[in-house]
């Protein structure tokens, strides 16, 4: 995996050296919104195998990627919420 930092600690791109996709470009961006940090993912990918790859993308891959990113969203939100609660507990002591 190659990680390119576009803006220090605000935006970076992951590009694998090999894998199942012909092309995979995953940009992560952290943005300040109303005093909170918003995480945005921008993914561009293409499938190998021409028409067969596009059929697989339409039937399986796209939905699977959506599930992966939906899970990631929930997991990150839970992790940050727990961390925020832990910090609040420390402030009350």
Nearest to 43 by CA among 16, 76, 9, 77: 16
Same domain, 59 and 87: yes
Q: Which of 11, 29, 46 is the last residue of a domain?
A: 46
Distance separating alpha carbons of residues 5 and 14, to the nearest angstrom? 9
3-state secondary structure at position 46: strand
Same domain, 87 and 54: yes
Same domain, 8 and 19: yes
Distance separating alpha carbons of residues 29 and 39, to the nearest angstrom? 6
Same domain, 57 and 16: no
In this predicted structure, the answer to whether residue 75 has a pLDDT above a threshold of 80 is: yes
14-68: pLDDT as tens digits: 889 999 999 999 999 998 889 888 889 999 999 999 999 999 999 999 999 999 9
Q: What's the pLDDT score for residue 86?
A: 66
Q: Residue written as tokens 């199942």?
A: 20
Same domain, 36 and 72: no
pTM for the full predicted model: 0.72
- Supply the range of the domain harboring residue 4: 1-46
Number of domains the chain is built from: 2
């Amino acid at each position: 995996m190659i990680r390119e930092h576009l803006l220090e600690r605000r935006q970076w791109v992951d590009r694998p050296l090999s894998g199942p996709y012909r092309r995979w470009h995953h940009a992560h961006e952290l943005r300040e919104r109303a005093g909170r940090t918003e995480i945005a993912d921008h993914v561009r990918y293409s499938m190998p195998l021409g028409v067969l790859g596009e059929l697989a993308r339409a039937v399986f891959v796209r939905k699977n990627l959506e599930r992966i990113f939906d899970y990631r969203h929930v997991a990150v939100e839970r992790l940050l919420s727990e961390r925020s609660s832990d910090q609040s507990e420390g402030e009350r002591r």
